Structure 1
């Protein structure tokens, strides 16, 4: 018994020492691993700080350096940009995200809307990943839409002291309504629904505006094949849709019915401004006189559409987003249009 216990003692000690050695080695490896991770974290932080300075320099050159550059790239000057940035922060709930501040998020979004540029081009220009650009764009579009209660307001009717001769004949009028087609990209199985009369997919967008070119109501989302009258009926049936007081009305073209709240021109008579442009064929009948005055006033909606599409290229050619996102983009562009019309009238 003594010989067995004396011989087992050294073996037990050796086994314990081996376990201790293994534990120490494991602890040493853990320490080395934590040192490596710590050094990598420090390198990432240094890169982040350098990247932040670089991004701020890009934004400074793009936005704050000159009005000319800011307008060319972002479709607005510095003062309106700064005011819109503050509005998005205070009312649109747009917040700084890590190293992407609110002004950079707005600049990325305006650049996409103003030039209809692909994600990868914006990524190169702003030195951001494609994922970051996509998230920033969608976040800012939704923040812009949150401003609609401030910028898309119910219109005031034309009064008896209206100074604009075109509108002085239409007291009680709220403005004009019409539809415009926005080119879009859709799946093959949706092309028939969205195909307009010109043969390519579009979204038929109904819009109402005031004599001062302020948009008061916009309804995107309908297929290009949908009739204007059908879209108007949908707008009137919605819970928060188009509202027309009993004593007021909108000017509409012959594509709409002449009914309560909507004044259309006489059918079968000359109407379009081009028919009177030369001055050689003046209006001959009371119906033609009415149509001419109606056309001159209602033309404000065409001017509004022209200004909207001229400023935001994303509305002139098919953008690179699905139908749902395109709908949000159109509303955001309407909000921007009103903001800039009020900030930079004329």
Structure 2
């Protein structure tokens, strides 16, 4: 199937530009000569040094403009849209993390609900050609039927984070219906890679190893019924977004939702063993994590597994990076970045 490629003459506004996915997407667009306006509030949910490392790399590009602001400030958001007149908006700014939403629900409402509403309003009043926004695989809740399809019932979220993402999908659908705003929601499945988020398990396990601490695995030590995750490498996520950006939905309601996942779930223990092998190669010595097994945490789900048929049909793309390749890239980066031995 034919799909439209990026237009480097357009202006792309990316919220959460100092975040993991936001950084890689911004860099990909800039490499192709696009003008990118990045917004981020640089919050301290995790190590801000990583965010500044990403930003420093983006600021090498002449066509990158960074604005340190919070999308929950509607007045500021409206001013930015009016001044820079983005053609395409990619909303990746959000408070991430399933478990953290149990401890600190306020920030999820502020960023994921109010912030997203402000982005929708700004798109409505500024004739944006396409809004692409981050949803999450967490909207599938405790669904047992796999692989997860975009048409599945998703009205039983098991975390506040998932509820906010489901709300985003509903809000975007409404704005598409009322104001003819072309919008595409992306349900990401466990994204990993170099310069990633330290709150993600693979990064945390690596930190623990170098701190001489055991890792906690929340599967009750049940290897037969281990947790399954559809681990998706960052380059695959970015390619999926890039292909969809130039192809806004058409139809009566211009709103579509796509899974972006690896379509190849791995047992958590297999993922951990692969990470041990990758670190062993990066360090040139054997690495084995000390493991503590605990019960599954509230809000966690037993399996994530994406159907990617719709994505393939729309833009002829299916994520393909193996965990062996992806985790080796991460391990090499980690050892180099933190100068560990």
TM-score range, shorter chain: under 0.3
Structure possessing the higher relative contact order (Cα contacts under 8 Å, 6 or more residues apart): 2
Which protein is richer in helix relative to its size?
1
Report the TM-score, using the length of structure 1 for normalisation: 0.25
Find the structure with the greater CA-based Rg.
1
